[in-house]
Structures are given as structure tokens and as C-alpha cells.
């Protein structure tokens, strides 16, 4: 009879150990959040700016991957009335002029971490690469 009690006790200890280990793993994985792409963070920033016209919204750093691009007339930004992209950094290559210092497309030819800002008015929204003060 004593052997059966000892086996039950070993199973109980194993179950407690397994539950504790699963709780630790669950807690560690629930704290993990995947990195967001620079394009989706840009869209979030523009959404904030479009909801509060004439106020500058900014992010200290946004990570863009090599090969990402921002098109002001892309369907991705169509609901935000994005009209201009302004480049204040050498890390971004902007093309297709849309006015003085205003571009329709900006490409990221290398992985960069840069500040960005956005400001909207009645005429549309402008995204600024390389500055936090919408200038």
C-alpha cells in the first residue's frame, strides 16, 4: 500500500511542476509584441493627425525596413487624404515631385530608424521624414 501512495505523490508533484512551467511560459509569451512596420506606424500617425487638424503629431523613431515605400496616393492612405511627403533626412530617397519640397513617393533603400511627424489641415495631410516638429 505504501508504494501506491508514493506513486500518487510523484504524479502530484509532476503535475504541479508542469502547471508552474506552463504558467511561466504563458506569462513570457503574452508579454511579447511583434515589431510594427514603419508603414503601419506612419498610417497610425496620420490617422491621429487627421482626427485633430492643425496639430503636429510625431514619433521619436520609426523603423523602416529596406524596400519599404510610402506612396501618397496609395490605397493604403486613401482615407487619410495624404497629399505630401517631406524629406528632411538623407536616409530616405523621395521622388515624383508634388510641389516645392513635396513628394508623392519616398523609398527606403536601407533599414533606418528616423523620427517622423504628421500634420493635417483642410487641404490634406503632410508626413515629414527626419523631423519631429512638422517643419
Q: Which CATH number is correct for 38-129, 1.10.760, 1.10.3470, 2.60.40, 1.10.357? A: 2.60.40
In angstroms, rounded to a whole number, what is the distance separating the alpha carbons of residues 69 and 129? 12
Provide the 3-class DSSP secondary structure of residue 123. coil
pLDDT in tens, 18-33: 999 998 888 877 766 5
In angstroms, rounded to a whole number, what is the distance separating the alpha carbons of residues 113 and 125? 22
99, three cell numbers? 510641389
In angstroms, rounded to a whole number, what is the distance separating the alpha carbons of residues 53 and 80? 12
pLDDT in tens, 109-134: 898 999 999 999 988 899 999 999 99
The pLDDT assigned to 54 comes to 92
The pLDDT assigned to 57 comes to 94
The pLDDT assigned to 123 comes to 85
* pTM, 2 dp: 0.71
The domain segmentation of the chain, as residue ranges, is: 1-32, 38-129
pLDDT in tens, 37-69: 888 888 899 999 999 999 999 999 999 988 888
In angstroms, rounded to a whole number, what is the distance separating the alpha carbons of residues 108 and 67? 6
The 10 Å Cβ neighbour count of residue 114 is 20
In angstroms, rounded to a whole number, what is the distance separating the alpha carbons of residues 127 and 112? 17
Amino acid at each position: 500500500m505504501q508504494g501506491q501512495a508514493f506513486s500518487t505523490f510523484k504524479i502530484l508533484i509532476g503535475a504541479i511542476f508542469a502547471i508552474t512551467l506552463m504558467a511561466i511560459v504563458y506569462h513570457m509569451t503574452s508579454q511579447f509584441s511583434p515589431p510594427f512596420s514603419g508603414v503601419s506606424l506612419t498610417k497610425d500617425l496620420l490617422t491621429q493627425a487627421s482626427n485633430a487638424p492643425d496639430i503636429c503629431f510625431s514619433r521619436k523613431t520609426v523603423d523602416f525596413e529596406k524596400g519599404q515605400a510610402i506612396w501618397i496616393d496609395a490605397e493604403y492612405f486613401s482615407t487619410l487624404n495624404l497629399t505630401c511627403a517631406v524629406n528632411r533626412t538623407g536616409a530616405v530617397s523621395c521622388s515624383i515631385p508634388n510641389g516645392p519640397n513635396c513628394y508623392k513617393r519616398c523609398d527606403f533603400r536601407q533599414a533606418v530608424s528616423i523620427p517622423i511627424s504628421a500634420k493635417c489641415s483642410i487641404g490634406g495631410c503632410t508626413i515629414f521624414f527626419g523631423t519631429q516638429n512638422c517643419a
